[in-house]
Structures are given as C-alpha cells and as structure tokens.
Amino acid sequence: MMKNVTGLTLFTLSGLDFKLEQRITLFFLTLLWYLMMLWGNIALIVAIIIDKQLHQPMYIFLCNLCISGLYGTVGFYPKFLLDLLSSHVISYAGCMLQGYVIHSSTCCDLSILALMAYDRYVAICRPLVYHSVMTKQRIFLFVLLTWFLPLYCMFMNTASLLGVRLCGLHIKRIYCVNWMIVTLACSPPKANAAIAYFNIMFYFGHFLFILWSYVYLIRTCRASKEKWGKFMQTCLPHLISLIIFSTAVLLDLLYMRFGSINFSQNLFNFMAIQFLLMPPMVNPIVYGFSLTKVRCKFFYLLHIKEKDAKCHPMTFHMRVKHSN
C-alpha cells in the first residue's frame, strides 16, 4: 500500500526518459511543428477577421475552432518544450490548470464541430430559412454557449478534485489530465465520478448529433447534383476534421483507461498527444485549401497571384453573395 501523501507540491511526469541528444532533436522538431501550427491557425483567424466578406456563420465558427485549437495547444506545448530541456516536474496547481485547459479545449472543439454541422444542415436542407435562423444574435449566443458550457463543465470536474488526498507523486503521462489525478487519489471522490460521467454523456450526445446531421445531409444531397456539390465544397472539410479529431480523442481515451502496461512508452506517448498533434495542424490546411474564399484570402494576404478563376475579385464577391 502506497504511503499517504500530504502537503503535495510537485508531480513527476513520465515518458521523457531520453538521452540528451534525443531531447534536443525532439525539442527542435516539436518547436518547428508548434510554430507551423501557430502560423496556420493565426493566418486563418486573421484572414477571417479582417475580411468582412467572410463574416458569415460558417467562417465565424471556423475561426472559433482555430482559436480553440490554439487554446488547447498552449496548455501542452510550452510546458512540454520546457520539460525536454529540464526536469519533467509540475506543481499541483500547474497540473490542475494543464488538465483543465486540455480538457476544456477538447470539449470546445466538439461543441464547435456540432455547431458547424448544424449550420451546414440548415444551409443545405433548409436554405429558405437559413438567414432567419442564423441571425447575428443567435450566432453570438451559439458561440457563447460553445465556449461557456465546456469551460463550466470542465471547471466543475476539476473543482471536484481540489483538496483530495493523494497517495502518489508519479503521473504516467507526459502531461496532466484529471483522470491521472483520480488514479492517484487515496479515495477517488464520488462527486468527480458523477460529474465525469455526466460530461462524457453530454458530449457523446454532441457526437451523436454530428453523426446524425451528416448522415441526413448525405442522404439529402445525393438526390441533387447542386446540393451534392455544395456538400462536397463546404461539408467535406468539416467531415475530415471530425474524423481526425474523433479518432484521436477516442483512441487516447480508450488507451488511457484500458491500455496495457506491456505497451511501449513511445506508443503511449504518441497516443497521448495525437489529438494535440494532428487536428490543430490539419484544420488550417483542410479548410484553407478546401474552402475557396479562405484560400483566395490567403493568397491575397501573401500577395500571391492565384491562377484559379474563382479567386478573381469579381468572381470572388459573386461567390460570397451566393455562398449560403
């Protein structure tokens, strides 16, 4: 039986037992990846903000998806880069904060993806009422809820762990999450279990809604070439983003709770960070090149002449007017 830990100040994080040369190489590779991730997301956000023609629901929601991705990566990459060059320890308060940021960011992503699915459902299946449904007031409310609910739900989850007695100092992960703290608790709080299961069911409902909306969209759009073309142009990037995000999160959750200790540490590390590695990088690429208006704005900001006729100023503004 583990010794009861009181007055805990520091946790140790596993998974970083590399030689100095390997750490330096990994540091520069991670830094390069993070900088590329920052550039891609910030460029997409700036392109949407400064162009009034892109101040439409679909692009507003996309902008928030990129902001959520940046928010989540801030909770991991700076600390991970620091750990590669120093001792991999984290304070109790820092551990709670890191877990909160990563959890809430993941839930924000799922909420925004659900909102984007609803937007495409109304735009394609109910086009005549789209502008009466997606008013500025409702868009503001929808965006507010996609941020407030995840932040509140994860705050309650994290708050339920405050003051819990811990029987260990070692977290078998390269970053903190609430579940790891629960596994170290001498007596896991029942309130945390109840809140955790509520959150899981709540966001699993988001996932089911997204699946239903895309199934309905596909069945509806197959009957019309015009609708199918619109689906492929505006919904396919959402679907790719959803598949990548859902697969990464699901594999991490399954491995964290049911993974075997016989698996290698490198595999465990990869499973732990892939949802912080792939979606924030893939989203700007997928949306930036798949959505014509965003791609045209990218080239305009970079002073690059795009050969695509769709990016001609007159054609671009005509497409904006008829996008929804």
Domain-by-domain residue ranges, the chain?
10-321
Three-state SS sequence of 193-246: HHHHHHHHHHHHHHHHHHHHHHHHHHHHHCCCHHHHHHHHHHCHHHHHHHHHHH
If phi > 0 it is left, if psi is from -120 to 50 it is alpha, else beta; for residue 56 that is beta
State the DSSP code for 185: B
Give the mean pLDDT of 136-147: 94
**Separation CA 215–CA 247 (nearest Å):** 18
pLDDT digits (tens, 9 = 90+) for 169-223: 888 788 888 888 888 888 878 888 899 889 989 998 999 999 898 888 888 888 7
Q: Which of 140-154, 202-216, 247-261 has the lowest average pLDDT?
A: 247-261
pTM: 0.84
pLDDT of residue 319: 47
**Separation CA 316–CA 324 (nearest Å):** 14
Residue type, 68: S
Q: What is the dihedral of CA 200, 13, 8, 104, to 10 degrees?
A: -30
CATH of 10-321, picked from 3.90.190.20, 3.30.43.10, 3.40.1260.10, 1.20.1070.10, is 1.20.1070.10
The band of 315, judged by pLDDT with boundaries at 50, 70 and 90, is very low
pLDDT of residue 260: 54
**Separation CA 141–CA 60 (nearest Å):** 12
Query: CB count, 10 Å around CB of 204?
Result: 11
Largest CA distance in the chain: 73
Give the residue, 47 or 268, on which the prediction is more confident.
47
| H or E element in which residue 12 lies | strand 10-13
Instruction: Provide the CB-side half-sphere exposure for 99 (13 A, CA).
Output: 26
Tokens for 303, please give them. Answer: 């002073």
